[in-house]
Amino acid sequence: MKEPILVGISQIAVARAPEQICCMGLGSCVAVFLYDHQMRLGGVVHILLPRAPLKVENEGKYADTGVKKLFRDMIAKGARKERIRAKLVGGAQMFPNLNVHISDIGGDNCREVKKGLKELGIKIIAEDLHGNRGRSATFDLVDGQVTIKTAFTDARSI
pLDDT band at 137 (very low <50, low <70, confident <90, very high): very high
Q: How far apart are CA 138 and CA 146, in angstroms?
A: 5
Residue 30 lies in a domain: yes
What CATH number corresponds to the domain at position 134?
Answer: 3.30.1330.200
* 153 domain-assigned: no
Domain count, the chain: 1
pLDDT tens per residue across span 24-53:
999 999 999 999 999 999 999 999 999 999
**For the segment 99-111, what is each residue's pLDDT rounded down to a tens digit?**
555 678 999 999 9
CB 36 within 8 A of CB 42: yes
Is the Cβ–Cβ distance between 6 and 20 less than 8 Å? Answer: no
What does the mean pLDDT of the chain come to?
Answer: 93
Residue 146, CA distances (Å) to 7, 53, 64, 141 in order: 14, 31, 23, 9
> Is 150 inside a domain boundary?
no
Q: Mean pLDDT over residues 89-107, rounded? A: 76
pLDDT surpasses 70 at 96: no
Residues annotated catalytic, as ranges:
29
